[in-house]
Structure 1
Amino acid sequence: MDAAPHGGEGAALPPETVLMAQLGARRAELREALGQLVAEGLIVRRRGLGTRVVGEHSPMDLCIPGPGTSLECHLGAGAVSPHVVSWSWVRSTPAPIATRLRGVTSGDRTLRIDYVFHLGDEPIGVITNYVRAVEAGRLDRSEFTADFYSIIGAASATGLGAHDLVLNASRADEFVAAVLGIAPGDPVTAMDQVIRNTDGDGIVVAFMHFRSDVRLQISGIPRVTADRAGSEAGAPPPAARPAWGGF
């Protein structure tokens, strides 16, 4: 059985009854063939989501904003959308997070926002943000419909500046696994981010986990030279428009 005739990466396969009729196969034979495709990493089957062609990756383009980059590049094109699952104040910010936020100690409050990225109806990533109180007090949950950067940029008195980003391989804990529909311990792509204002102050710490079949392609990163980090002299700031964006 070949998954290719049923569409490219991300395409949904027909129901089993339709495939049985198309292939002239019995249910046991069909399920054995589908199991082989799963084992080869060519399709993925999830309860409630059906069977989809995954090929090598499900490509997702990202864009990290910088000075002079329009936040509109993060208004995802297509069916990617954030779904807020938690919006609550943390009375005592954990020390490892507080140390990355300017002017925040482990005894201070921060706003924790958990949301899930969906591609259509399928969850592909879960993001946890800790927002400094001064910016959090200006946020309106009802305005978070497409792009986190837009609302945090509006809440910052000086606007958004540079960002720190750490990318590493990890494994899903029980919370991430439950949200993404995978098993605890399954591999995920993890990203830690500090969002800064134009004064260089850390105002948000974000922890992101994406399914391992999601390829994260970050475009428009300035060249790093021996004496300074940034774009080449005279080069305009990166303004790549992704297929979808934002964390």
Structure 2
Amino acid sequence: MTASHPLPQYRAQYRADGPVRAGIPEHGRVPRYYAVKTELLWLVDSLGEGAALPSERELAERFSVSRVTLRQAVGELVMEGKLQRRQGSGTYVAPPKLVQPLSLVSYTEGMRRQGVAPARSVITVEHLPADEVLARDLAIGHGDQVVHLERVLLADDERVGLESTYLSVERFPTLLEVLDPTKSLYECLTGKLGVVFGEAEERVETVLATPREALLIGTNPALPMLLLHRVSRDAQGVPVERVRSLYRGDRFSFTARLRPDR
């Protein structure tokens, strides 16, 4: 059911980082919860990062809506990373999303540039035989051994992602001897094993975490995730690694610098 819920004129001000006209169609008829959500966004901006949202009862009275309608609006803002729920405490204005460049920059370097302390919690370190797809991506034989590293990504001790990396054992036979798996693999490859990265192919899509992934990252299985698939190559064009990175959609965004093809 929809209801006409005209917003105050100042709500329609131009915002370059938001939807045009706040997503309100010209006829002004929108679901009640969405009108409340738009109002909440302005309240969030005025409160500032870390501030507590007023109580559910107070907000429902302020917007003249039911608590069910209010919860739907708040729930969407939580899913989008604008608000954070804290068990037994309340709902708070979330910090800005972390921004990771889509470039040959490690997760560690990307976080450090934002003044965030990166870390990793090691889940799996193992040798596996390459299946057909992995063998093709790494330019090795089907069944050849690969190193598989699975690590939870942390930012200021907050779990924000899960990363699985695969590398050829034949190419990097001493990797596990020189690598501290809680630290940057990229820095180990370039600093200790002499790899010079040349390029990478990356694909980004949205997914829902599996139950295991949600448990490892410590998030709601219904929360949208950003999934990145990357194959990195050295300066000679030889594959170095294949990486599957899963990031929390409420905590991450990505940037890329685009240039025209020549």
TM surpasses 0.5: yes
Write the distance in 2 (CA, Å) between the matches of 1:89 and 1:72: 22
Write the distance in 2 (CA, Å) between the matches of 1:200 and 1:126: 27
- With the length of structure 1 as denominator, give the TM-score of the two structures: 0.67
Higher helix share: 2
* Residues 1:164 and 2:223 are matched in the alignment: no
Q: Specify which of 155, 164, 186 is matched with residue 119 of structure 1.
A: 155
Counterparts of residues 59-78 of structure 1 (less than 5 Å): 59-62=98-101, 64-65=103-104, 74=110, 76-77=112-113, 78=115
Aligned partner of 1:98 in structure 2 is: 135
Gapped regions of structure 2 (runs ≥ 5): 1-39, 61-66
* Residues 1:7 and 2:44 are matched in the alignment: no
Residues 206 and 224 (structure 1), Cα distance of their counterparts in 2 relative to 1, 3 Å cut: same
Q: CA deviation at 1:100?
A: 0.3
Local SS of the residue matching 1:169 = strand
| Equivalent position amino acid for 1:130 in 2 | Y
Local SS of the residue matching 1:142 = coil
Q: CA deviation at 1:188?
A: 0.9
* Residues 1:130 and 2:171 are matched in the alignment: no
Question: RMSD of the TM alignment (CA)?
Answer: 3.5
Write the distance in 2 (CA, Å) between the matches of 1:138 and 1:54: 39
Write the distance in 1 (CA, Å) between the matches of 2:163 and 2:98: 18
Q: Specify which of 70, 83, 87 is matched with residue 43 of structure 1.
A: 83
Local SS of the residue matching 2:133 = helix
Write the distance in 2 (CA, Å) between the matches of 1:71 and 1:124: 11
Residues 40 and 75 (structure 1), Cα distance of their counterparts in 2 relative to 1, 3 Å cut: closer
Greater CA radius of gyration, 1 or 2? 2
Gapped regions of structure 1 (runs ≥ 5): 229-247
Q: Deviations over 1:160-212 (max 9, x none)?
A: 11111111111211222112222335321111001111111112100011111
Q: Specify which of 187, 190, 193 is matched with residue 227 of structure 2.
A: 190
Size of the alignment, in residue pairs? 206
| Equivalent position amino acid for 1:91 in 2 | L
| Equivalent position amino acid for 1:58 in 2 | K
Counterparts of residues 140-219 of structure 1 (less than 5 Å): 140-142=178-180, 144-145=182-183, 147-219=184-256
- With the length of structure 2 as denominator, give the TM-score of the two structures: 0.64
Write the distance in 1 (CA, Å) between the matches of 2:219 and 2:142: 33
Local SS of the residue matching 1:100 = helix
Write the distance in 1 (CA, Å) between the matches of 2:72 and 2:92: 14
Write the distance in 2 (CA, Å) between the matches of 1:50 and 1:111: 43
Q: CA deviation at 1:117?
A: 2.1
Residues 61 and 92 (structure 1), Cα distance of their counterparts in 2 relative to 1, 3 Å cut: closer
Aligned partner of 1:233 in structure 2 is: none
Q: CA deviation at 1:35?
A: 4.6
